[in-house]
Amino acid sequence: MGAGARVLIVGGGIGGLSAAVALRRAKIEVAVFERAGAIREIEAGVSLHATAQAALAAMGMNDALRRISGPPVQRFQLRSWKGRVLATVPHNAVTLHRRDLVLALANDLMADGVVHLGSQCTSFEHDEQGVTVRFADGREERGAVLVGADGIHSVVRTSSVGMTPLRYSGFASWRAMPTFDHPAVPENRSQVFLGRGARFGIFPSSVGRVYWFASRLAAAGESEERGARCRVATWFRGWSEPVQELIAATEEADVVGNDVYDRPPIKRWGTGRVTLLGDAAHAALPTLGQGAAQAIEDAAVLAHYLTHTPLADAGAVETALRAYEARRIPPTTAVINEAWRISRSYMWTNPLRCWARDTRLRLTPTRVWAARAAQREAPELLPDETATR
Ligand SMILES: Cc1cc2nc3c(=O)[nH]c(=O)nc-3n(C[C@H](O)[C@H](O)[C@H](O)COP(=O)(O)OP(=O)(O)OC[C@H]3O[C@@H](n4cnc5c(N)ncnc54)[C@H](O)[C@@H]3O)c2cc1C
């Protein structure tokens, strides 16, 4: 069967939709297969730093991004649970509602019939000529390239390069995004408060909404228990303002809880005409707030390498996909490793260790923070023509 020149994307989350938008901008035909019956996302925010913003701009999403995000946040503060400032890091990020982001990405794709809902991929095969993807309802689709953007439990990864075990972080996170106005939440500053075995983040977003997360040491499964808002309020009692006020401004039904896992990094994302993108390739702990951002950057870089690649030519496709992977594996591996390392110390419970951690954070010069942020958040990480398009 002929494969045509279509790129098949399994998964319609932030990663898969970004890849579809970026590839279409490069004039490549795509089809997205999402197992859910609708494009949806959880009631929570997502923070995107400068590189992810540049990647979205390169995909033609700049106006949409400005419309749905809050004003740029220029400072990120780490504080003790009592409110003492431990570090102020120069920053360039926007926070937006996850649902607004996926809907903005899906808008034209849905109108043009590119997204196929209710399409659960169960297996695939690939050969010199192309890829055949099979779905739970018995359908088959043929294309030139398969991109597995099907998240942390990726079926595409399991059948291509193999799955590594999930790693439980030891903590769970609860998130919400209420409307909130408070002098301790200026619109240009994000804040994360560190305690013993717990952390609370506050991110101003658009139209008066504030995204918060509460992370706490927990046994796996604890995040699913009912009454999350009351429990979070109890755990964080006595923390600096406006933590309690923000929890009180949140409806119980709007709190989303998750056990938090990652997967150790892998050295190979694909073979032949198949590759991976987003959490399917590099699920990291959310401590650096980088997972969705990295998926968006993957999408921009993948489109860069597939542009001008003759998709009928197996050798050319293989070269392009392996070049994409070589470019993306090092930075995403660094994010997984750093997020894991930092998460450990942010969840310490021993008072002496916590005091030593906070003192070290307080004594770290601003220029060191700025250099670390620049390493991860620089638009130069994208291929030249992508970053400046
Ligand atoms: C508590 C928490 C906070 C976070 N905060 C941030 C943040 O501030 N900033 C940030 O950048 N990142 C953040 N992240 C990470 C971010 O949420 C993820 O990295 C991102 O959502 C990954 O996107 P994805 O599209 O790769 O995967 P997913 O969002 O998991 O999407 C995968 C899609 O594939 C579909 N699918 C799965 N299997 C199949 C199949 N077999 N067939 C068809 N479709 C399938 C799913 O239905 C889903 O729609 C956070 C994560 C957590 C847990």
pLDDT, tens only, 255-298: 999 999 999 999 999 999 999 999 999 999 999 999 999 999 99
- Tell me, in angstroms, the distance from the centre of ligand 1 to residue 151's CA: 5
Which range marks the domain in which residue 126 is found? 7-167+262-388
| Separation of alpha carbons 154 and 252, rounded Å | 31
| Residue 213, domain member (yes or no) | no
Terminal CA-CA length for the chain = 37
From the alpha carbon of 173, which atom of ligand 1 is closest?
Answer: 1
Residue 351 in contact with residue 221, Cβ under 8 Å?
no
Verify whether ligand 1 is closer than 6 Å to residue 286 (CB atom).
yes
Tell me which residue has its CA closest to atom 49 in ligand 1: 13
Q: For 34-53, how does the pLDDT look when each residue is reduced to its tens digit (9 = 90+)?
A: 999 999 888 789 999 999 99
Q: How sure is the predictor about 373, in pLDDT bands with cuts at 50, 70 and 90?
A: confident
| Residue 216, domain member (yes or no) | no
- ∠237-239-242 over CA atoms, to 5°? 105
208: left (phi over 0), alpha (psi -120 to 50) or beta: left
pLDDT of the residue at 380: 59
| Residue 241, domain member (yes or no) | no
Q: Is the pLDDT of residue 387 over 70?
A: no
SS3 338: helix
Number of compact structural domains in the chain = 1
Q: How many residues does the structure list for the chain?
A: 389
| Residue 252, domain member (yes or no) | no
| Residue 376, domain member (yes or no) | yes
User: Which residue out of 8, 21, 35 has the highest number of ligand 1 atoms within 8 Å of its CB and is therefore the one to mutate?
Assistant: 35
| Residue 182, domain member (yes or no) | no
Verify whether ligand 1 is closer than 6 Å to residue 47 (CB atom).
yes
pTM: 0.95
| Residue 153, domain member (yes or no) | yes
Verify whether ligand 1 is closer than 6 Å to residue 242 (CB atom).
no
From the alpha carbon of 36, which atom of ligand 1 is closest?
Answer: 47
Mean pLDDT of 99-104: 96
**Domain CATH for 319:** 3.50.50.60
| Residue 207, domain member (yes or no) | no
Q: How sure is the predictor about 70, in pLDDT bands with cuts at 50, 70 and 90?
A: confident
Verify whether ligand 1 is closer than 6 Å to residue 276 (CB atom).
no
Q: What single DSSP character describes residue 38?
A: S
Residue located via tokens 């390498």: 305
| Separation of alpha carbons 346 and 226, rounded Å | 26
- Tell me, in angstroms, the distance from the centre of ligand 1 to residue 378's CA: 23
